[in-house]
Chain A
Amino acid sequence: MVKVYVNDKEVEVGEGSYIIDAVIKAGYSVPTLCFFKGIYREASCRICIVELGNGRLVPACAYPVSEGLRVYTNTERVRRNRRVILELILASHKIKCQSCPRKGGFCQLLDLAREYGVEGIPVCAECPLHGNECLLVRGEPCLGPITIAGCGSPCTREGTICIGCRGPITRRDVLVEAARLYKEHKIPLEEVFSKMKLFWNNHPSLDKIYNILLETYNGGEKK
């Protein structure tokens, strides 16, 4: 058995264990994305990084424990790094929450984004399909595809459109995808714009968002 200190709490784990085992045993948790116990220990997503006593950041899922190891799971540095990594992951993530099987709040990425305050995932990710028809399919100008998630989508759950009270996502690919959806469901962009003005009227990127939506919406038409 090896003695490990997780957030200064002593815990004993078997030899050959990894930090993540000790952390869980000590009653703490670290977020993981690419780690599946017994299947993957790739350590490629880096979201599970923890700080060691010597100040190094190491992935909890693939770093073996050693006697007297000190692990801190939630220091400011760890959180900051996790946030940036999350931003990077999202930067390369194809955000098509509309058709994602993890739609309806079952998205780990969304949970992390919410916890670490990273924008990028739209309200659609939280909007459950169960028993509800997508409002876009009904032809309503829902702002779900372009609004930052994190509210739990109370409005769409109740069958009213999302009006974007959490602010817009300014990422181009998300907007392009949204414009595609609006076009697919034949929702006039003017109505969407009108809804956007409710809460985003002074948003510094409003013009940019307009332009991207318009461009994609009209660009597809010519083809």
Chain B
Amino acid sequence: MSYLELSERIDKVFGHLELRLSLRNGSVDAKFRVVHDMRLIEAVIEGRKVDEAPIIASRICGACSIAHFLASITAIENALGVELPDDIILLKESMNKIQVAQNNVVHLFFLALPDYYNARTLSELLSRNPDLIKVGFKLNNLCLQVVELLAGRIVNPNTYRIGGFTKKPSKDKVEKAVRILGEAEKLAREVVDHVTRLELPELVDPSPVYLVSESPIGYLSIGDYILSSTGEKFRAVDYPKYISEEVVDYSNSKVYRYNGRVFYVGSRARVLEYGERLVGLEDYVSSIVKELNNPYANIKAKALEILATIMDVKEKLDELKDRDLRLRTEYTIRSGEGVGVLEAPRGLLIHHYRVDSEGRVVYANIITPTAMNALHIEHSAMTLGKKIVEGELDVVEAKKYLSMLVRAYDPCLPCAVHVVVKQ
């Protein structure tokens, strides 16, 4: 076999994407082609008022609008030098976390799991294994309810503005959220039990470098630093020094390298970095941690995160409900530069804005997890390709594994393609 080109349009991902694997005389090349239409959100944001930027940013993607919204607003708060009280940060983080949980449910049940049950579509899986999927639906619904309670509505949050929340969540609301989360926790436990026992295709991560935002305490909090698997820690505002971006001609998305190396972000990275902080989940963590050098294991990490975040949010809200909260600070418009870093469902998300003295955004840069993962996906696919060359893998099977691989990263293409070529 001298020449083979596998070109696979991947379904069951957010958006349009093609993975092209060419095997030529023993050499292997993979291209992660984002064919989703350009969205150019950064260009839209530039020139807008600061309070409008998060509104636009949250429209980048309906699936994780809260992450974009919060990253954007954090960047602006940083640029304006807003000091937030702990209460606000706590609620903000809860908002983000519960969305991570909800997003992971969607990914797991509706996108990734069919592969593991040899079902081509969700409906096929549903007819075959209705109980499992019903759990997914229910869990998703419960998470969405909490999202709505915290963020005002399911997509595009409207309870939070620069400097804090518009309204204090009523005690009823919080209690209701806690109650729902209690219910969700039980279901999530079932899910984790189930998913951690799944058998994964074997693959060794070709480039086990990851980046993750720093959480001073707990899990998935919003910090000012970025950590890498190499132990390096740098300030978020300094990201351009460490992360280099590159435009490729075959894709509508940019690709990124960390210190010249291919890296990945996402649940796998988060569990590897903060797994030991998950109190009460030590058994699960230890059962999957040895598998985590396999990119496919991302789904197990995601399953674990569902439970972890639900428990975490529940605990935080429970703690909040009897307290008198301070949820609003005043801010003044001034010029400045700020970077907002947080862990979106798919991994590290960076929003970077420069604001002029009239409160207009003059520069915007958004780095999304999918774009950061792009090179890593290519490299993983190449590893898979090598297996074909070496005859370990049948070509027909390879196609399936390829799409499973891409899905394991859960790329979100609408997020990736807002990127615009500067200069």
Contact = CB atoms under 8 A, between A and B. Distances in A.
In the complex, A touching B (Cβ < 8 A):
yes
Nearest to B170: A131
Interface stretch (B151-159, B220-228, B244-252, B289-297): B151-159
B159 A160 contact: yes
Interface stretch (B49-57, B275-283, B361-369): B49-57
Contact of A158 (B48, B55, B56, B166): B166
A195 interface: yes
A20 B161 CA distance: 49
A154 B52 contact: no
Interface string A125-164: 0000000000000000000000000000011011110010
B422 interface: no
Contacts of A159: 159, 166-167
A75 interface: no
Contacts of B166: 158-160
Interface string B143-166: 000000000110000110100001
Nearest to A195: B52
A158 B159 CA distance: 5
A154 B152 contact: yes
A195 B152 CA distance: 20
A61 to B, nearest CB: 37
A159 B56 CA distance: 18
B147 to A, nearest CB: 12
A91 interface: no
Contacts of B55: 163, 198
A194 interface: yes
B407 to A, nearest CB: 31
B49 A158 contact: no
A155 B52 contact: no
Contact of A198 (B56, B152, B153, B161): B56
B394 to A, nearest CB: 49
B52 A160 contact: no
B49 A155 contact: no
A29 B388 CA distance: 65
B294 to A, nearest CB: 42
A188 to B, nearest CB: 12
22 contacts: A154-B152, A154-B153, A154-B158, A155-B158, A157-B152, A158-B152, A158-B153, A158-B158, A158-B159, A158-B166, A158-B167, A159-B159, A159-B166, A159-B167, A160-B152, A160-B158, A160-B159, A160-B166, A194-B48, A194-B52, A195-B52, A198-B56
